[in-house]
Amino acid sequence: MTQFLPPNLLALFAPRDPIPFLPPPCKLPHEKKTRGYTGIAEFVKFFEDPSETPPPVKVETREERLERRRRERAEQVAYKLEQEIAIWDPYTNGQATTDPFKTLFVARINYDTSESKLRREFEIYGPIKKIVVVHNTVNGKPRGYAFIEYEHERDMHV
């Protein structure tokens, strides 16, 4: 079938010239003369004395470092929490309600909702003594929940 190909394509299928023989640049391993293996006795004087060897340096792995950092953060949070608990006085909190039985917790409110809108919606059930919309301490934005304290407990149940 290849006999019908044109000469330029037929040249692609022609065998190449054989690779010329070149003698090896050095002797083969079994032809070399070696001195054989020797001991290390002459090099022992260069070894370091075991008593002068420094202790191995303990390198912290990634998992150990992450665990250490997590433990340090937990300790810091626990210490900060202990300090805040020690100085916290519930009787001096101005945002706290006076009677929890008259207080209604309202959650999932829109962040744009103001105290006046809450008062307008919840005042139909009874007179309101105090409304506290909880805000974030860092940036002052609303958190999405509020406490509404009524004058009477029955109004809160309604």
pLDDT in tens, 110-128: 999 999 999 999 999 999 9
Specify the pLDDT at position 137: 79
Query: What's the sign of the alpha-carbon dihedral 85, 86, 87, 88?
Result: positive
The string of DSSP codes covering 93-133 is -TTS-S-GGGEEEE-S--TT--HHHHHHHHGGGS-EEEEEE
Residue appearing with tokens 């105090």: 130
For the chain, the average pLDDT equals 89
Specify the pLDDT at position 107: 95
Specify the pLDDT at position 121: 94
Specify the pLDDT at position 40: 87
Higher pLDDT, 57 or 137: 57
Specify the pLDDT at position 38: 82
pLDDT in tens, 24-64: 788 887 888 877 788 888 888 888 888 888 888 999 999 99
93 has pLDDT over 80: no
